[in-house]
């Protein structure tokens, strides 16, 4: 549990474990996806980014991969996504859930979902969808076009900036 949110690991993941570091004060960094920092191995990369987080000096210019890093400072959650948003994160408005699994969100409750007709037509016509739309109106994919709205509505900060200050603060132009 991080704040009012629960981080749930779905059984479909290959390692069936969450890569995380937590200190005695309650600061945490969770790593989802493939994350490499300056050519270091997985654990050393996570150790290094955790130290940057503690020092409030996160600089992602040397981060490589398809990843989502989740920072918890004891008060705020900050998502740091790879700059291309290639690691998919979805938000479901029906129960305020966040997941990397679209199907897990569909199955997260018994509420009926509304088919997004335009998205369905786009998928049938082109074979793909442009974010943030999904086939279900209540579920949106986190993307640069909706990161500010997502942050405002969920209380979770989102960034793909090369350098962020933890906790990330919102301003009139978006998120820093």
Q: What is the pLDDT of residue 118?
A: 94
Q: What is the pLDDT of residue 164?
A: 40
Give the CA-trace dihedral at 152, 158, 161, 164, to 10 degrees.
Answer: 90
Tokens of 117: 């007709």
Instruction: Give the closest residue to 130 by CA, choosing from 152, 157, 96, 121.
Output: 121
Residues of the chain with pLDDT under 70: 1-18, 95-96, 144-176
Instruction: Give the closest residue to 97 by CA, choosing from 6, 1, 2.
Output: 6
pLDDT per position as a tens digit, 122-153: 999 999 888 788 999 999 888 766 555 555 55
Q: What is the pLDDT of residue 163?
A: 39
Instruction: Give the closest residue to 49 by CA, choosing from 14, 79, 11, 21.
Output: 21
Q: What is the pLDDT of residue 116?
A: 94
């Amino acid at each position: 549990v991080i704040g009012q949110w629960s981080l749930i690991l779905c059984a479909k993941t290959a390692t069936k474990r969450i890569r995380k570091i937590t200190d005695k004060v309650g600061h945490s960094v969770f790593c989802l996806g493939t994350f490499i920092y300056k050519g270091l191995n997985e654990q050393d990369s996570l150790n290094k980014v955790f130290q940057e987080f503690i020092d409030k000096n996160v600089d992602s210019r040397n981060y490589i991969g398809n990843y989502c890093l989740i920072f918890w400072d004891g008060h705020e959650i900050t998502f740091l996504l790879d700059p291309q948003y290639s690691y998919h994160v979805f938000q479901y408005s029906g129960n305020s859930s966040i997941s990397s699994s679209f199907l897990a969100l569909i199955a997260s409750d018994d509420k009926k979902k509304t088919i997004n007709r335009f998205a369905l037509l786009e998928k049938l016509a082109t074979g793909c969808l442009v974010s943030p739309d999904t086939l279900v109106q209540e579920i949106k994919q986190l993307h640069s076009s909706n990161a500010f709205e997502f942050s405002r509505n969920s209380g979770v900060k989102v960034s793909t900036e090369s350098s962020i200050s933890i906790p990330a603060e919102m301003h009139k132009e978006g998120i820093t």
